[in-house]
Amino acid sequence: MGVAAHAGIVPAWADDGGEKYRAQARVMPPSPAFPKAIDAYAVYEPQTTCSMTNKPGPLDLRDIVFQTYGQRSWSIARSCTGSSVSEHKEGRALDISFNALNDTQRKLANDFLYWLLKPDPHGNRHAFARRFGIMYIIWNHKMWRAYRPNDGWQWYTGSNPHTDHIHISFSWRGAMRRTSWWTRQVFY
């Protein structure tokens, strides 16, 4: 069951545009114009190697967040120790600080996620997430997966509830800036 359908909760980033913040102005990054053609949804590409170098796609999205919402704590590449699978170990996952327990921070995070997942003027769902090559997002006990877009936001039950940051994992194309956000060429 999607988050929007659970217990009457309609998160601000729901596909219907969300009800919670509808009356308030959204704070969002600039939205460049794109043609109707759009990248396919990213497939799941789990971490398989160790490359502790920050990739350009996550760095550039971090900069967009900084320009729109101000400087904040962040991380991309991490140590390859441990047995867990993490795109951080390949430098293609971005953690960016927002506090879900603070009303202002939660609204800004939800505005950013709304911007990533809203339809474009052509009706393409999850438009900017697709153009960035985003594979999945975790925030405030919820997870959105590009490889399961019709599921919407699902409850996330991992050990870290992600209430102090948004986690964004990129496909390899997105991590290496080989998607239409940067190239203006569509990848299917």
pLDDT for 143 equals 96
pLDDT for 82 equals 80
22 domain residue, yes or no: no
Distances, alpha carbon 32 to alpha carbons 29, 41, 57, 66, 121, in Å: 9, 19, 17, 17, 11
**Domain around 91:** 3-14+52-77+86-183
35 domain residue, yes or no: no
138 domain residue, yes or no: yes
Q: Is the dihedral of CA 63, 140, 27, 152 positive or negative?
A: positive
For every one of its 188 residues, what pLDDT tens digit does the chain have, with 9 covering 90 and above? 343 333 333 344 444 334 454 557 899 999 999 999 999 999 999 998 898 899 999 999 999 999 999 999 999 988 888 878 788 889 999 999 999 999 999 999 999 999 999 999 999 999 999 999 999 999 999 999 999 999 999 999 988 999 999 999 999 999 999 999 999 988 77
188 domain residue, yes or no: no
168 domain residue, yes or no: yes
DSSP state string for the chain: --GGGSTT---TT-TT--STTTTSPP---------S--PPPPPP----S---S--HHHHHHHHHHHHHH----EE------SSS--GGGGT-EEEEE--TTSHHHHHHHHHHHHHHHS--TT--TTHHHHHHTEEEEEETTEEEETTSGGG-SEE--SSS--SSEEEEEE-HHHHTT-SHHHHS----
21 domain residue, yes or no: no
Plot region of 133 (φ>0 → left; ψ -120 to 50 → alpha; else → beta): left
pLDDT for 142 equals 97
* HEC readout, 103-145: HHHHHHHHHHHHHHHCCCCCCCCCHHHHHHCEEEEEECCEEEE
43 domain residue, yes or no: no
pLDDT for 22 equals 52
Q: Which two tokens stand for residue 18?
A: 């969300």
Q: What is the model's pTM?
A: 0.86
62 domain residue, yes or no: yes
pLDDT for 85 equals 79
Question: What is the number of structural domains in the chain?
Answer: 1
Q: Is the dihedral of CA 148, 152, 158, 161 positive or negative?
A: positive
